[in-house]
Amino acid sequence: IDIKALRGATGGITTIDPGYKNTGSCESAITFLDGEKGILRYRGYSIEELAEKADFLEVCFLLIFGELPTEEQLSKFDKDIKEESQVDEDMKKILDGFPKSAHPMGVLSSLTSALIAFNPGSVDVDSEEEMYGAIVKILAKFPVLAAWTMRKRKSLPLDYGDNSLGYVENLHKMMFAKPNETYVANKIVNEALDKLLILHADHEQNCSTSTVRIVGSSHAGLFASLSAGISALWGPLHGGANQAVIEMLEAIKEDGGDTAKYIAKAKDKNDPFRLMGFGHRVYKNFDPRAKIIKKAADEVLGDLGIEDPVLDIAKGLAEVALKDEYFVQRKLYPNVDFYSGIIYRALGIPTEMFTVMFALGRLPGWIAQWREMRLRKEPIGRPRQIYIGENLRAFKEISER
Ligand code: ACO
């Protein structure tokens, strides 16, 4: 498509496509997915192979810069990120201002916006070099902010992490290190976390990514675009689904564990209840990420020796729904969030932090999409509409209304 030729088009035909179910918003070389066949690839590499062989930092580099890094490139990337891991002390005052009960996604989005004030040079970035500077800054500081958000909720003192650890290990340490205790990494936990982050790292033009691209298209800057993306991800129909899954499972347990009752509710068109973690806008046969994560969930639960009635309800629900005609006909299968919630719970991550974990994983995807949009010099995003309001009316004085 010749973007230049499209630029400046002001009139002509306007298509209407609520939810953009059939509308492409851009050309992209980052993520390929085929919803019918259940294929997901980052930069041409299959998600199955990446989840098995790569680590999250390599996937970050791959998504953002287009190629798997050489050892030298990876070590420079890692070093550049580590050099930026300090967060301004005044950011803590902002964090302090939030009530402990504030939802972590609201806090994270606000802190990401607040970072702009402390890093003004990261806003107006045009050259690749300036973009790189902003990218390593946010990759370094975002895990710190996410971990702080969780520790504040748990009334734990903030932790800066340890730059001798790998990216994901350090994230885990910043979240879970106990005051006055030496942090001991757990290989199973960190590998599961690494895999989860990789599986969530990009998913082409979903709601939050489209938000990042459209905000970025006004040249608002990377951090502002990401903050908007975090807000979009918060919703229960998008990233908030993993939290909604566990809340739903807990509600079913409280109600006596009758899964059939909830399957019936989900099928009842007069009942707004939906089975959280089932269905996907694009994957209409199966979600390839769900397959990988289901296996990882079984391994993690086995390795950690976890027995949890809520997880038994999850298994039961999936078994029944997968055979039920309503779900089969509509091709509604458990999605990645059905299982990611289960693993996060097993890893001891509080439910309201689940969507933050998703945001941590999606960060490189958002960055890659923002960078691509800027490098391609895409025009400002500005959809049209079909006006369905009143025709011209004469103004009525207030006394006559
Ligand atoms: N439970 C019960 N029925 C459902 C569900 C569900 N979870 N999902 C879809 N349906 C039904 C709809 O009622 C509709 O039925 P109808 O044809 O009889 O009217 C049909 O399946 C098609 O559903 P749509 O809403 O048109 O599908 P859409 O592609 O717009 O929505 C979505 C996809 C939002 C993911 C939806 O399936 C849903 O709400 N799922 C639960 C929330 C969830 O898990 N979200 C996470 C998505 S994955 C992610 O963000 C990483």
Distance, CA 118 to ligand 1 centroid (Å)? 40
Residues with Cβ within 8 Å of 223's Cβ and at least 6 positions away in sequence, in order, are 112, 113, 115, 116, 119, 122, 123, 134, 138
Question: Is there an atom of ligand 1 within 6 Å of 274 CB?
Answer: yes
Distance, CA 246 to ligand 1 centroid (Å)? 17
d(CA 289, CA 286): 9
Position 3 scores a pLDDT of 58
CB burial of 332-347 (b: ≥16 within 10 Å; e: otherwise) equals bbbbbbbbbbbbbbbb
Position 189 scores a pLDDT of 86
33, 102, 161 from 205: Cα distances, Å: 10, 29, 33
The catalytically annotated residue of 194, 280, 298, 308 is 280
Which atom of ligand 1 is nearest the CA belonging to 358? Answer: 51
Position 9 scores a pLDDT of 55
Q: Using CA positions, which residue lies closest to atom 17 of ligand 1?
A: 330
Position 2 scores a pLDDT of 63
Question: Is there an atom of ligand 1 within 6 Å of 275 CB?
Answer: yes
Respond yes or no: is residue 126 known to be catalytic: no
Which atom of ligand 1 is nearest the CA belonging to 335? Answer: 48
Respond yes or no: is residue 337 known to be catalytic: yes
Position 1 scores a pLDDT of 59
Classified as helix, coil or strand, 159 is coil
321 and 332 in contact (C-beta within 8 Å)?
yes
Which DSSP string do the residues of 74-116 spell out, in sequence order?
Answer: HHHHHHHHHHT----THHHHHHHHS-TTS-HHHHHHHHHHHHH
Position 11 scores a pLDDT of 55
Question: Is there an atom of ligand 1 within 6 Å of 238 CB?
Answer: yes
Q: Residue 154's closest CA among 358, 331, 340, 353?
A: 353
Position 327 scores a pLDDT of 92
pLDDT means over runs of 10, the chain (401 residues):
58 82 94 93 97 97 98 98 95 95 95 93 85 96 96 88 94 90 86 93 97 96 96 90 89 92 94 91 86 84 84 87 90 88 87 93 98 96 91 97 95
Q: Residue 56's closest CA among 212, 131, 165?
A: 165
Q: Residue 292's closest CA among 120, 22, 96, 50?
A: 50
